[in-house]
């Protein structure tokens, strides 16, 4: 969708680590720590590729494979700002009824049918409203 609509779509990620996934909050924290070294998207992609096997060792392996400055990464994982961002995202998500991931909103409207065709249709409708 981003490639098809570069002038009309902006992707915003909000973190909503599910309590049912033992490593979800650790993964979100690690991705945000990697972001401080410009590697959020790479880290994020690897987390989702490996979501079934996530554990402390896998998260560490991803960080090392991206050649992060490991000392900075470990310090950043402890950052109060990162923890506050995750907590804020969780509060915001709960306030608007998010119960699972991924949940997609388009201009504040929850997307129930997440097919590419439906997403494009919704984007087209929103773009036409502003023209």
89-101: pLDDT as tens digits: 999 999 999 988 8
Residue 17 is given by DSSP the state -
Contact yes or no for 90/16 (Cβ under 8 A): yes
Contact yes or no for 30/70 (Cβ under 8 A): no
Q: Report long-range pairs for 60-66 (Cβ below 8 Å, ≥24 apart).
A: 62/30, 63/30, 63/33, 63/34, 66/34, 66/39, 66/42
Residue 41 has pLDDT above 70, yes or no: yes
Tokens describing residue 47: 């987390």
Query: The whole model's pTM is what?
Result: 0.84
Residue 15 is given by DSSP the state -
**What domains, with CATH codes, occur in the chain?**
24-107 (3.40.30.10)
Is residue 56 very low, low, confident or very high in pLDDT (cuts 50, 70, 90)? Answer: very high
Contact yes or no for 44/31 (Cβ under 8 A): yes
DSSP 3-state assignment of 105? strand
Separation CA 118–CA 114 (nearest Å): 6
């Amino acid at each position: 969708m981003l490639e098809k609509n570069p002038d009309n779509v902006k992707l915003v990620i909000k973190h909503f680590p599910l309590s049912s996934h033992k490593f979800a909050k650790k993964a979100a924290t690690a991705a945000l720590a990697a972001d401080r070294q410009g590697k959020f998207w790479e880290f994020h992609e690897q987390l989702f590729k490996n979501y079934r096997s996530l554990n402390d060792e896998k998260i560490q392996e991803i960080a090392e494979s991206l050649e992060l400055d490991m000392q900075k990464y470990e310090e950043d994982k402890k950052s109060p700002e990162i923890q506050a961002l995750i907590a804020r995202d969780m509060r915001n998500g709960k306030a608007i009824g998010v119960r699972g991931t991924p949940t997609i909103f388009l201009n504040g409207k929850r997307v129930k049918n997440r097919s590419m065709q439906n997403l494009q249709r919704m984007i087209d409708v929103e773009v036409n409203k502003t023209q």
